[in-house]
Amino acid sequence: MHRVKWFAALVAVALVSAACGGGGGGNATPTGGGGGGGVSQRGYRIAVVTHGQASDPFWSVVANGVKAAAKDEGVTANYNAPQTFDMVAMSQLIDAAVASKPDGLIVSIPDADALGPSIQKAVQAGIPVISINSGSDVFASLGVLAHIGQTEEVAGQLAGQRMKEAGATKAICVNQEVGNVALDLRCKGFQEGFGSPVEVVPVDLNDPSGITQTVAGKIQSDSSIDGILTLGPSAATPVIQALQQSNKLGTIKLATFDLSTDVLNAIDQGNMLFAIDQAQYLQGYLAIVFMTQYLATGAIALGSPDRVVLTGPQFVTKDNAADVIKFTDEGVR
């Protein structure tokens, strides 16, 4: 409850900053400030490096938040990500960003072992760093100022509890990026909340038809499976197709992390129990606002005693899916 109050206050501060601030899109594309609207240009340049491509439906919303905040705050922001989930490539992008000497750096941390040295180089170079999305459990040890996102294991626990309350007795967790610590924690938490063993089914993010075949084969070979959790829309859509092919859509209880049009339509039609929304637009937006204010004032919004600003989990169910669809169409959910 205290975190909710903290977060509400922080969002209010961010919105005031956006309105009064002194015053993207694709990879390596500068975003932010045109001359309109009376927003003066601060001259700050902020580098953003995540593990998700701006062309991905989920990460495009993060990039939209970055772009909007950069414009509102009158700063320049560059969004970069590797072409695939590749920690070596991502660490190289962070190194390149640090070498360019930005005023601030925003990163996701899906693998602290792989990315930690590059992030610490930024800190040692005197570049302030804020993390988003992944890394709530490790950011502080790397010298990162604050984290904006959700605590993945707790979100997974809540998903497991809801799945069990819905009547599922045997569930699987479909993981499209095994090795991404945040996704691994989601499955771990899901099993903890579900209260019985949950098999993790690894699939390839870049092979949607393969995901459909794998899940269809799994539920055909084990008729006792009555619950499925996916960890993002890139897996949820192929799993919906697998259930359709198996004539089990609406029979097997399905839930997912994160939103897409397919996900929201499935929820609205009663074919999916719920989606866990981490409000990724806010992750991109607030990171730029907080970094700009830190550069301008020397103060950082901490969010809570452990310096995690929670944007989720927020549950989307049949009761509110129709209302959320319009925000997804606008690219902000």
Q: What is the pLDDT of residue 7?
A: 43
At 48, list the tokens.
Answer: 């953003």
How many Cα atoms are found within 13 Å in the side-chain-facing hemisphere of 61?
22
At 50, list the tokens.
Answer: 């995540």
Q: What is the pLDDT of residue 228?
A: 98
pLDDT by residue for the chain (333 residues), tens only, comes to 444 444 444 444 444 344 333 333 345 456 665 444 545 678 999 999 999 988 888 899 999 999 999 999 999 999 999 998 899 999 999 999 999 999 999 999 999 999 999 999 999 999 999 999 999 999 999 999 999 999 999 999 999 999 999 999 999 999 998 888 889 999 999 999 999 999 999 999 889 999 999 999 999 999 999 999 999 999 999 999 999 999 999 999 999 999 999 999 999 999 999 999 999 999 999 999 999 999 999 999 888 899 999 999 999 999 999 999 999 989 999
CATH code of domain 152-277? 3.40.50.2300
Q: What is the pLDDT of residue 31?
A: 63
The amino acid present at 182, given as its one-letter code, is A
CB burial of residue 204 (10 Å; 0-12, 13-18, 19+): middle
* Matching fold, domains 2-150+278-313 and 152-277: yes
CATH code of domain 2-150+278-313? 3.40.50.2300
Per-domain residue ranges of the chain: 2-150+278-313, 152-277
CB burial of residue 16 (10 Å; 0-12, 13-18, 19+): exposed
